[in-house]
A and B are shown apart, each in its own frame.
Chain A
Amino acid sequence: MANSEKTSGAGFLKNLVRNQCFIPVAALLLLAVFNLIADPSFFRITLGYNSAGNPVLSGFIIDIINNGSELAILAIGMTLVTAASGGQDISVGAAIAIAGSVVLRVLCGGNARPETLQAPIIVAFLVACVVAMLFGAFNGVLVAYFKIQPMIATLILYTAGRSIAAWINNNELPVISDPKFAYFGGFIPGIPIPTPCFIAIACMVVIGIVLKVTNLRLYTQAVGINQSSSKLNGLNPEMIKVLAFVILGLCVAVAGLIKVSRVSSINYSVIAKDIEMDAILAVALGGNALSGGKFNMASSIIGAFVIQCLTTTLYKFGVSSTALPAYKAVVVILLVVVSAPTVREYFNKITQKMKLSKEVA
């Protein structure tokens, strides 16, 4: 009986390890345990009041969820792009700069220090959505119709994006003084949980419903696994690739709104810097093949929070923001080496050998 229990336990473990969410969740748990041992105060959440007198929650966990929101939103779009095109969009950081710049431009109406908002926030956001989706479509058309590798096609916007963002606002740095605008990246009065969390959850729910109700998942995966066979089955692979990039554009617009709302202003060369790398890492950490095909949205989103958790942990240990990438790189290398197919095979062989020797004994 003990024997059968053991085997079922092993089977459960095997299923668990095979689940795509295993790697990001395990990494998250590992980080949590590490923080618990190093300093339990990491998990403390305190309720305080901000300068406006509103109740706000603070603590490292809240920081992770708050700052990880943009990354999680981007990870959604990046997963789709990766799955459909087998490449990554490296222009998201630059596109966020453009979207943020558009939001500010519409709100300010050409004046860098407006007393009142020149347009409703929703209008500014919608304009930013349209612009970001157009840029997404531009990337998508280059990838789908001109058959340029996604990384290279998006290199164009990566090079030009921040320049375009500066050009939209005439290289001025508009500042919005209206406190309402800061709600999107901060706190709504009376609600102690940061607003970006709600926005991120809303995005997750929307994409969850879309994947459940429509054929988006099936079509994207079909195009990613084999483009020509999906074409033979009556799909339009080009359209689906463009669609993936447009959806990423929408995600970029949402992330851009949060980013500019956090500071009520913009710094063209710093805003969302290196976020494209984090977003790609989130997708890779989620165990999705970067060469396209099958994807798991949930594990990508968990991957995004793992990256943010890692960042916050490193900050907490006094790593300066400029040195941060070095530590991140070490962690990333460890992760990709552990999850590399050849390394896994090697470990499988070793465990099998051990089993064999046990049986013989």
Chain B
Amino acid sequence: MAKTDKSNASTGKGLGAKLAGMTDTNLLLTITIAVFFLLYIGAMVFLRSGFLKPQTFFNILNANAALIILACGMSLVMITGGIDISVGGVTALVSMCCAVYLDYKGGNVFMAAVIAILIGLAFGAFQGALVAYLDIQPFIVTLAGMFFARGMTTIVNTSPFNVENEAFVALKMTRVNVPGLGSVNKLGKYVPAYVEIGVLVALLVVIVMFVMLRWMKLGRNFYAVGGNKQSALMLGINVKRTKFLSHLICGLLAGIGGFVYFLHVGSGSPSHASGAEMDAIASSIIGGTMLTGGVGNVLGTFFGVLSLNTIQNIVSSVGFDEAWWTGITKAVMLCLFLVVQSVVMSVRKKRNAAN
């Protein structure tokens, strides 16, 4: 199949043939990135108002740094052929534990981050072990994980509260200015564009995951196991360990994402990050990851998160700002992407069969 694709590309004329010559992962990635730029440029041209300011873009990043990290972990698990719906619950649990630790126990920020990562790793390791070594369906295991995390959050503390730890508030308020992209406000004063610390963490996560999935042996193992377990086994890949690692890394990222979320909102609450797991799954899918496994890319996931939130911004700035439009917009977008993916894939399959 790869051979015919290549010959197609070399003899191909124009864009269509080039698209046909891409691997599944790259094709879906291209679609996602194209859609994101179309959306954003369209918004800049037709809506002008906020979208012309670079800060609008950075605000989307600021608000969704945690989601980017969660979605990266989700993509990894989905590439390996599993699913992890506990990430939202873990995020809430991490926020609550860190909040209680910082405010009631008077801990320092560094230890809070360590606690966050440990909680994430614990969830990842336990779920991974059940999925990989006991062969239990990942959906059920992580569903229980989600229930457990949500329940534990209220057991740790029932009521939401803001954290007033000084060191933490200072870190929360830290802004990293982006040179050259500021804007002049109404008073004629120059306001620099900024991102929060969490965005830097998120970008780092995306880069590390991208490098790992593309160029490292471990990363290719994930694709192999997700694509075809049987042949991965025959290639001598330790399938169980690979599955375990995918859940472990997802748990780790859920811990980090939870801390970044906590850093953004600065409070602990049982209702934090409700539905984050579904947003993460939706972003991964929009980013071209397929739940069947073996196809996907964290770069696509990154753009998936951005697309999802850009369209929400567009919808609310057009005037549909009632709460329910957010849900409906998200669903329509997801539906569209799923159908496009499904159609593109079936067309390619037919073409490959014809070749």
Residues of A within 8 A of B (CB): 88, 142, 146-149, 151-153, 155-164, 166-167, 171, 277, 280-281, 284, 290-291, 320, 322-330, 332-333, 336-337, 340-343
Contacts and interface: CB of A to CB of B under 8 A. Distances in A.
B324 A326 contact: no
Interface footprint category on B = 35 or more
A324 B338 contact: no
What does DSSP make chain A's interface, helix, strand, loop or mixed? helix
B158 to A, nearest CB: 7
Contact of A342 (B134, B158, B292, B324): B134
B334 to A, nearest CB: 5
B130 A337 contact: yes
Given A171-B322, A329-B151, A337-B136, A160 B327 contact: yes
B134 to A, nearest CB: 5
B140 A332 contact: yes
B282 A159 contact: yes
B318 interface: no
A324 B140 CA distance: 17
Contacts of A166: 323-324
A333 B155 contact: no
B183 interface: no
Contacts of A171: 322-324
The residue in A153, A159, A336 that gathers the most chain B C-beta atoms within 10 A of its C-beta is A159
Given A320-B158, A341-B135, 6 more contacts: A162-B327, A322-B158, A327-B151, A328-B144, A340-B135, A342-B135
Nearest to A339: B136
Contact of B140 (A163, A322, A336): A336
Contacts of A343: 134
B158 A158 contact: no
13 contacts: A142-B339, A146-B338, A146-B342, A152-B285, A152-B291, A156-B331, A157-B331, A160-B331, A163-B331, A166-B323, A284-B140, A322-B270, A333-B141
Contact of B143 (A280, A322, A341): A280
Contacts of A146: 338-339, 342-343
A340 B130 CA distance: 10
Contact of A159 (B136, B325, B331): B331
B101 interface: no
A281 B147 CA distance: 12
Interface string B324-352: 11111011101100110011001000000
A28 B224 CA distance: 42
A332 B144 contact: yes
A198 B134 CA distance: 40
B163 to A, nearest CB: 21
A328 B270 CA distance: 17
B154 A142 contact: no
A265 B308 CA distance: 33
B210 interface: no
Given A160-B331, A171-B322, A328 B147 contact: yes
B327 A163 contact: yes
Contacts of B146: 325, 329
The residue in A152, A281, A328, A341 that gathers the most chain B C-beta atoms within 10 A of its C-beta is A152
Contact of A142 (B140, B327, B338): B338
A156 B144 contact: no
B197 interface: no
A331 to B, nearest CB: 9
Nearest to A142: B338
Interface string B134-172: 111101110111111011101100100000000000000
Contact of A163 (B154, B325, B338, B342): B325
Contact of B155 (A88, A148, A323): A323
B154 A323 contact: yes
B276 interface: no
Contacts of B325: 163
Contact of A325 (B151, B285, B291, B323): B151
A325 B150 contact: yes
A329 B334 contact: no
Contact of A147 (B270, B275, B278, B346): B346
B249 interface: no
Contact of A320 (B154, B282, B342, B343): B154
A325 B147 contact: yes
A29 B330 CA distance: 44
A156 B291 contact: no
B274 to A, nearest CB: 10
